[in-house]
Chain A
Amino acid sequence: MMSLSALVLFLIMMIFGLPIAFAMGVSAAVVIWWNDFPMTVVAQRSVNALDSTPLLAVPLFIFAASLFNHAGITRHLFEVIRIVVGRIRGGLGHVTVLTNLVFSGISGAALADIGALGSTQIKLMREQKYRDEFSAGITMAAATIGPIFPPSIPLIIFAAAAEVSAVKLLLAGIVPALIIAALLMVQIAIMARVQKLPRDTVAFTWSGFGRTFLVALPALVAPVILIGGLVTGLFGPTEVAGVTVAYAFFLGTVVYRELTWSGIVAAARETVQATASVLLIVASAALMAWVFTIDQIPTIAAELLLSLSRDPLVLLFIVNGLLLVVGMIMESIAAILILAPIITPALMQAGVDPVQLGVVVVLNLMIGLLTPPVGMSLYMVSIIARMPLHRVIAGAMPFLIPLLLSLLVITLWPAASTWLPNQLVK
């Protein structure tokens, strides 16, 4: 009853535009107060949730991606990929997918990727007479790779909420991210033929490619260093984030020499603002999770789910259905923090690997970024492309097909998520 009151209050406040962190915090705090629990819980639970070494990876990965952007490194990545695949029909669509795939090896959030790459990609596609709906759609769809490929802020947060190995979860995203990229490129190839999309105007020469490749090489190896460090155990997830920041500083100041003091300040400012915004939600969600635990909601939810079925696949499909709806109406970090502790015990009891579950949960919620009414990618692309929202939504629709197909593959084939981490982490 306490949980239901908190949840209903939260949803009403969220719908009426109260910032999510406060909607969650005030609804949980009021319920705690109303039910005569000690008020120390409010401060203690919120602060304890943030006083955590694994969560330090969140600001550090945001900072690394922001430094890469301010140092002009993302531009070098874009240029080299453009030379390689741009000349294919619909080539800029493929360039968008591959650039996001490489950049996702540095950044860990979909909206950060749209912010870093979106305006350049959409501007170039516009110049080459691509339909605006296509440009907006592929920009949003390709950005879903970011939170799946390591590093991934949503996966780190899932790992913390569900008490799963963060290293395994991060590595689990590699194969699914490649599947998403491949299916998106198939979709682009089909649309390129049907809509007669243009080829890129950039000419391919071996010397031009060699020059651009050499310039971009130090940036291209960043994801390799990151994944290599995780696999060899040289760094943990938080440490790898710190090392990526140091590498971004090194590339920006020594190799490319484009990172200025004002760039560092701007990157730091963006980072603290994004971090405060996300981690305040985490703090409030910890409070909400405490209310749920007191009401034994995880146990009740586990019993309910297991009474429906004990088949792991059936349960995963139920969770997929639930999360696709939740992803449409709730912000993804809040959804992970509320739902992960509730659904994980039941699915683990049924034999689902929590590592696979983490990838399935995050992909579901990232698909939610492309669906109204709470699709944050839609709003962001609408702003940067200066397009009305209904056209952005129309642009997203065709790309939901490869994303949902990817989700189906990852649901039906657990090894897509579990094989690589099981091979690399003993």
Chain B
Amino acid sequence: MTPDSTAPAREGWPERVASWGEALAMAMLLAMAALVVLQVIARDGFHLGLAWADELARYAGLTIVYLTSPLLLLRNRHVLVDILLNILPARLRIAVECINDVLMVLFGALFLWGGWVYMQRAGRFSTPALGMPNLVFYAPVMLGMVLLFAAAVIRAARQVAKLRRGDLTPPPTDGGIKL
């Protein structure tokens, strides 16, 4: 993975807001690594099982995925197959990308609907090890999906604005994340 692949192509206020999510996710990654190593030391060195550390590490994992995804969407960095997009005429490409953005809005809406109903039930309980309310445990997921939904709406609005301006350049991308 090259360092350049993470460099932003164009920054507006939505990207700056989403960058806060990414910064939090980076802090959670460091915490997760520390918690996993702590579990090894506690178990192999002191015969202690740290269920709370495992739970916090999983919480960090969920935070990383859902709080980084909105920025990836705004920067067009999710894994995608763009062979067909690249051979489409410019105007048709933008129209297809616009439909794709609407589909992402639909996914966000369906997820948030399901998540809202789920939280009515699950939100009354707590996590087994830490006793953390489920509302807190799942908060990064719901916040991330709200931001993802907003990011998809913003992308769609930008595509429409581009079409109105007659700007037919494809969105900046490096072809997705290099794993």
Identify the A interface with B (CB < 8 A). Answer: 13-23, 25-26, 29-30, 33, 38-44, 46-47, 50-53, 55-56, 59-60, 62-63, 66, 69-70, 109, 111-112, 114-116, 119, 153, 234-235, 238-239, 241-243, 245-246, 265-266, 268-281, 283, 331, 373-374, 379-380, 383-384
Contact = CB atoms under 8 A, between A and B. Distances in A.
Interface string B138-179: 100100000000000000000000000000000000111111
A332 to B, nearest CB: 9
B40 interface: yes
Contacts of A59: 29, 32, 61, 64
Given A269-B26, A374-B81, A60 B114 contact: no
Interface in B28-84: 29-30, 32-33, 35-37, 39-40, 44, 54, 57-58, 61-62, 64-66, 68-69, 71-73, 77-84
B77 to A, nearest CB: 7
Interface of B: 1-3, 5-6, 22, 25-26, 29-30, 32-33, 35-37, 39-40, 44, 54, 57-58, 61-62, 64-66, 68-69, 71-73, 77-85, 96-97, 99-100, 103-104, 106-107, 110-115, 117-118, 121-122, 138, 141, 174-179
Q: B65, B83, B107 — which one has the most chain A CB atoms within 10 A of its CB?
A: B65
B146 to A, nearest CB: 12
Given A26-B110, A114-B178, 18 more contacts: A17-B80, A17-B85, A17-B96, A18-B100, A29-B111, A40-B117, A43-B115, A46-B111, A47-B62, A111-B1, A269-B6, A271-B26, A272-B26, A273-B22, A274-B177, A274-B178, A280-B69, A384-B2
A21 B146 CA distance: 16
B118 A242 contact: no
A69 B111 CA distance: 37
Nearest to B142: A43
A243 B40 contact: yes
Contact of B61 (A25, A56, A63, A379): A56
B104 A22 contact: yes
Contacts of A26: 103-104, 106-107, 110
10 contacts: A15-B81, A19-B78, A25-B107, A47-B62, A50-B65, A265-B26, A268-B26, A268-B29, A275-B64, A277-B72
A275 B96 CA distance: 27
Contact of A44 (B2, B82, B114): B114
A72 to B, nearest CB: 13
A111 B179 contact: yes
Q: DSSP class of B's interface residues: helix, strand, loop or mixed?
A: helix
Central interface residue in B37, B66, B107, B175, by most chain A CB within 10 Å: B107
A374 B84 CA distance: 11
A69 B178 CA distance: 14
B6 A119 contact: no
Most chain-B CB neighbours within 10 Å: which of A245, A273, A331?
A: A273
A16 B1 contact: no
A389 B61 CA distance: 36
A14 B96 CA distance: 12
A232 to B, nearest CB: 10
Nearest to A234: B44
Nearest to B104: A22
Contact of A273 (B32, B72, B81): B72
B175 A42 contact: no
B179 A274 contact: yes
B120 to A, nearest CB: 9
Nearest to A329: B81
Contacts of A66: 1
Contacts of B178: 111-112, 114-115, 274, 380
Contacts of B113: 39, 42
What 9 pairs across the A-B complex have the smallest Cβ distances?
Answer: A242-B36, A19-B78, A115-B1, A43-B115, A276-B68, A42-B114, A39-B114, A277-B177, A17-B85
Nearest to A67: B33
Nearest to A37: B114
Nearest to B58: A51
Contacts of B114: 29, 38-44
A277 B33 contact: no
B110 A63 contact: no
Given A17-B80, A111-B1, A280 B6 contact: no
Nearest to B63: A272
Given A59-B61, A235-B40, A273 B110 contact: no
Residue from B5, B33, B97 having most chain A Cβ neighbours under 10 A:
B33
A281 B33 contact: no
B107 A62 contact: no
Nearest to B115: A43
Nearest to B116: A43
B64 A331 contact: no
Contacts of A242: 32-33, 35-37, 39-40
A280 B78 contact: yes
Given A17-B84, A331-B81, A246 B37 contact: yes
Given A46-B111, A242-B40, A274-B179, A20 B79 contact: yes
A281 B81 CA distance: 14
Contact of A383 (B68, B110, B175): B175
A21 B176 CA distance: 12
B174 A283 contact: no
B117 A373 contact: no
A17 B30 CA distance: 33
Contacts of B37: 239, 242-243, 245-246
